[in-house]
Structure 1
């Protein structure tokens, strides 16, 4: 019953239960308004399919533009909320699994965890890909507190209620070299076959020029980094590389930030290690639920899992590419205090 309770609390919105979802009418005026907006925005060919549009300073996939607008307009954050934020392919699936498991560890042992029968993205739903997608306006008042959601939206474009409510924001960043390679592999697998193969060189050029879903990359990372310096009690920055290097200490940082620190007894009983193992890349990748099906109809779920390593970029990028990225990184991060471990 407990497992089903969590699925009800976090997942029913994806089942389109009429009692928990209000479907927005296809109002002609709103449809025309959106069409006018899209026609006024700069656009580029997406690496997967369709277009990405430059909306509020970032590149948003075509299907997600109306969802982002609805999220901005309708979401009312609560102080007890936790918002998971990443750039695509920065370790989002891993962080969702960890955050959900840490927050709900009093309810579930590893053997009874919902992760055994649900993908982490079902347990911590995206605003722009799930909750507000497809002209839906969810009734999130039915979600019990504390609520946990996720987004790729840059900080300046978050709803005012998220910025002003005092809710927690957990941001996971990854060095741009590995982030790009993971993104390129993912886009290549999820790409519409009619578009042909995705050139590494063309994709890299676009990434350096700020393209890619929810980029530019450095603007995205710096937006949350600077906010974490202003409000460290409300915005936590985690690094993918630090998590790979010492997952247990990073899990304890996360638990402390979420308001549910591990007790000495839990640490002595190996609870941290149990959750770490349950949420590890290899264990999640091997679960049957993550080998089959599709992620909200956008792409095959198995494409979410590749290697999850630090430094894999050395197998793909030329010295010229590395030099170009290093120069961009040096320029963008100058004076910020933010540094990346590139392996």
Structure 2
């Protein structure tokens, strides 16, 4: 049976983490539709996407107070689509002249989420308004917030947004594993099938995944100098060419001397999944809320979904994807067609 959206519930309904929320946020939550959450009791439908109470409060503060600069760089993504990797690559490209060699690089001692902080998980967490005026430029930030809900100053400015999405099949599997790893021990775990039903309805953090993809994709068509749309599969397939593409988009292209000197290959190795997973900083510590860094690195593979999906799941998600994204551009369809080809094989 599919979960039921609850549009109304008692005014005295308890809300998880209520003591940390402002009165304004508590009142807002009472008016929002909600669904069963993956790792929290509920997700709430806020501005057309699903998120948790603490995220709603942080996003609201972010929207009201963040003032973008034209030189800002923002890494945007659907959760579990290669965010950590893209942050590392972006930081490495932009800051490559700061380090004499990769042996003393910040990425060896800091998790990428510390170097490229989330608006909603770090900077505006707990309703604080950080002073960002003294950060060195270009300022590097990140977010999972859908494009339509970004602050107006960000949308109106000439800041750069690098966006990444992933095959929805693999994104689901990665999200399910991650949620179960970080879920509080006292909370019951959702089965793969229960979580899958929610996913197909769009009920996943910052989802539906199709509206998230389409929001950034459409903006990348209208303003290609503002939004660079990438897929995880493209990066895995040809990381060298895409690093050059990213550097050009970020107005810091690699010189011919850098290419001949192996700088691009050095950055690829520095930011590789295998390299980052083995670093001590990524085996311990917590860079996002109370999530252990080690849980940010699982397999990083393409096509792992075939080890988890049953035939009915394959058929159902394929139909959802075709219905929601089938008429979209070929760039989005790359991830879809790869999934469907595997189904046929």
* TM-score, length of structure 2 as denominator length: 0.89
List structure 1 runs of 4+ shifted beyond 6 angstroms. Answer: none
- The correspondence of residues 92-107 of structure 1 with structure 2, limited to 5 A, is 92-107=83-98
Contact 1:50 1:62 in 2 (8 A): no
**1:336 shift after superposition:** 1.8
**1:53 shift after superposition:** 1.0
* TM-score, length of structure 1 as denominator length: 0.89
| Aligned position for 2:50 | 59
SS of residue paired to 2:141: strand
- The correspondence of residues 1-343 of structure 1 with structure 2, limited to 5 A, is 31-108=22-99, 109-337=101-329, 338-339=332-333, 340=335, 341-342=338-339
**1:151 shift after superposition:** 0.2
Contact 1:77 1:165 in 2 (8 A): yes
> Residues 83-124 of structure 1, C-alpha deviation per residue, up to 9 Å, x if partnerless?
100010000000000000000000112111111111000000
**1:147 shift after superposition:** 0.7
> Residues 31-83 of structure 1, C-alpha deviation per residue, up to 9 Å, x if partnerless?
32221101111112321124211100000122111100000000011111111
**1:252 shift after superposition:** 0.7
CA RMSD in angstroms comes to 1.3
Cα separation, 2, equivalents of 1:88 and 1:115: 21
Cα separation, 2, equivalents of 1:125 and 1:295: 9
| Deviates most, 123-132 or 332-341 | 332-341
**1:198 shift after superposition:** 2.7
SS of residue paired to 1:84: strand
Cα separation, 2, equivalents of 1:335 and 1:181: 25
Cα separation, 2, equivalents of 1:311 and 1:317: 11
Q: Which runs of 5+ in 2 are unaligned?
A: 1-18
**1:290 shift after superposition:** 0.4
